[in-house]
């Protein structure tokens, strides 16, 4: 099968690079495995970060977003049949989606939205799962939060695009941040109620729109950059969730007097640690697919490249790595 593989540069301390390769189609391994023929993939910041890391193996297959067709099913599989059209983000500890066929645990998979193409579907899983888990499993938004305010820092990226829509659908008032005319337009399209500029002081920007404090903050950017400001604007007993690694230690004590709760959301936790509730990811994706089929959610694909090969993956990594990406970038076909 075809695959785009990440290789070590021959030079010492040289950078990794992508190459087109022909490798063996994987055999079913675990009882819950599906073998999926990958039709579309999407590139996320986790790909660009991972591409820069050292690794032991001769090559790695990246890619943590896919839409495709089930070709074989493992012994314990009950929810899927050969021929099902599915989508999933996957498991960071296994081979990724940048290959024509991929093994994936059924508990992480759902049937793709019927109204969406393979390309549009491939744009969704990682970002929608991250946004959903952040809002509902970490910040624990429930019915009682209807009408309350949430600040989503950096709303125009992939996770932001999903989070704005899911938070709106849950009845919250969504304040998000953007700093360019294109991102401002995008977050408005996603349904944000108010937009402030994250290049200015967040507390000052909020003050201008009459907001002093809010009970929820979802930080989709290096939390170090906003730590002091978040401590100022979070409400007593409020909750902050972050998905991006802090690049240096933080002064946790700033949150103490307000009894604030801080949560990490890492979309790969459930699969990486094989948690008892890892099947929640399949359930969440099923909910997400339903919301797309009911036209509750907007599509987030903004760029589409063809085919899936090393040259296009390299270009995709440059675009996603630039931090200017709005919405999602998808590749299809082999």
For residues 275 and 269, the answer to whether their CB atoms sit within 8 Å is: yes
Stretch that binds a copy of itself, among 24-32, 267-275, 307-315, 325-333 (CB under 8 A): 267-275
Burial class (CB in 10 A: 0-12, 13-18, 19+), 250: middle
Hey, which residues between 124 and 163 contact a copy of itself (CB under 8 A)?
133, 137-138, 140
* Residues in CB range of 282: below 8 A, 6 or more apart: 79, 88, 106, 107, 108, 109, 110
Give the whole-angstrom CA distance, residue 231 versus residue 240. Answer: 9
Residue 196 CA: distances (Å) to CA of 46, 152, 175, 211: 26, 10, 7, 11
Give the whole-angstrom CA distance, residue 111 versus residue 302. Answer: 22
Shortest spacing between CB 30 and a copy of itself, in angstroms = 19
Stretch that binds a copy of itself, among 145-153, 178-186, 245-253, 290-298 (CB under 8 A): 245-253
Shortest spacing between CB 236 and a copy of itself, in angstroms = 4
Q: Please identify which residue in 204, 251, 283, 311 interacts with a copy of itself, judged by CB under 8 A.
A: 251
What phi, psi does 223 have (nearest 5°)?
-65, -25
Shortest spacing between CB 235 and a copy of itself, in angstroms = 8
**Does residue 253 interact with a copy of itself by CB under 8 A?**
yes
Closest C-alpha among 230, 311, 187 to residue 331: 311
What number of chain residues touch a copy of itself (CB under 8 A)?
34
**Does residue 273 interact with a copy of itself by CB under 8 A?**
yes
Shortest spacing between CB 297 and a copy of itself, in angstroms = 23
**Does residue 272 interact with a copy of itself by CB under 8 A?**
yes
* 166 vs 219, beta carbon nearer a copy of itself: 219
Q: Please identify which residue in 29, 200, 204, 236 interacts with a copy of itself, judged by CB under 8 A.
A: 236
Q: Count the neighbouring beta carbons within 10 Å of the beta carbon of residue 7.
A: 16
**Does residue 307 interact with a copy of itself by CB under 8 A?**
no
* 200 vs 274, beta carbon nearer a copy of itself: 274
* 240 vs 310, beta carbon nearer a copy of itself: 240
**Does residue 270 interact with a copy of itself by CB under 8 A?**
yes
Shortest spacing between CB 225 and a copy of itself, in angstroms = 14
Q: Give the 3-state secondary structure of 12-50.
A: CCCCCEEEEEECCCCCCCCCCEEEEEEEEEEECHHHHHH
Q: Structure tokens of 236?
A: 């007593």
**Does residue 231 interact with a copy of itself by CB under 8 A?**
no
**Does residue 49 interact with a copy of itself by CB under 8 A?**
no
Q: Element (H or E) spanning 312, and its range?
A: helix 310-321
* 81 vs 275, beta carbon nearer a copy of itself: 275
Stretch that binds a copy of itself, among 173-181, 253-261, 290-298, 322-330 (CB under 8 A): 253-261
Pairing outcome for strands 85-88 and 66-73? antiparallel
Residue 135 CA: distances (Å) to CA of 39, 145, 184, 265: 29, 11, 22, 9
Give the whole-angstrom CA distance, residue 86 versus residue 25. Answer: 19
Q: Please identify which residue in 35, 77, 190, 255 interacts with a copy of itself, judged by CB under 8 A.
A: 255
**Does residue 311 interact with a copy of itself by CB under 8 A?**
no
| Residues in touch with a copy of itself (CB under 8 A) | 133, 137-138, 140, 223, 236-237, 245-246, 248-253, 255-266, 268-270, 272-273, 275, 277
């Amino acid at each position: 099968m075809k695959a785009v593989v990440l290789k070590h540069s021959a030079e010492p301390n040289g950078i990794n690079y992508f190459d087109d390769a022909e490798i063996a189609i994987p055999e079913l391994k675990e009882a819950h495995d599906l073998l999926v023929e990958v039709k579309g993939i999407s590139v996320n910041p986790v790909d660009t970060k991972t591409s820069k890391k050292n690794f032991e193996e001769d090559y790695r297959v990246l890619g943590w977003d896919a839409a495709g067709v089930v070709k074989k099913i493992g012994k314990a599989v009950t929810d899927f049949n050969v021929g099902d059209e599915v989508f999933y983000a996957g498991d960071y500890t296994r081979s990724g989606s940048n290959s024509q066929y991929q093994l994936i645990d059924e508990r992480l998979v759902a049937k793709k939205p019927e109204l969406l193409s393979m390309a549009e579907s491939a744009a969704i899983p990682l970002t929608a799962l991250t946004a959903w888990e952040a809002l509902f499993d970490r910040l624990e938004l429930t019915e009682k939060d209807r009408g309350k305010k949430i600040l989503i820092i950096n709303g125009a990226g992939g996770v932001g695009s999903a989070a704005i829509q899911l938070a709106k659908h849950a009845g919250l008032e969504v304040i998000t941040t953007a700093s360019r005319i294109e991102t401002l337009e995008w977050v408005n399209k996603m349904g944000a109620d108010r937009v402030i500029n994250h290049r200015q002081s967040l507390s000052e920007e909020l003050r201008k729109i009459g907001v002093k404090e809010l009970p929820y903050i979802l930080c989709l950017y290096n939390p170090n950059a906003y730590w002091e400001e978040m401590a100022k604007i979070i409400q007593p007993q409020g909750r902050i969730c972050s998905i991006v690694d802090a690049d240096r230690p933080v002064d946790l004590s700033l949150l103490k007097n307000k009894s604030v709760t801080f949560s990490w959301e890492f979309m790969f936790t459930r699969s990486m640690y094989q948690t008892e509730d890892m099947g929640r990811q399949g359930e969440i994706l099923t909910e997400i697919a339903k919301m797309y089929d009911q036209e509750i959610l907007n599509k987030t694909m903004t760029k589409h490249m063809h085919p899936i090969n090393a040259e296009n993956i390299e270009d995709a990594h440059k675009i996603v790595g630039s931090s200017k990406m709005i919405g999602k970038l998808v590749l299809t076909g082999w």
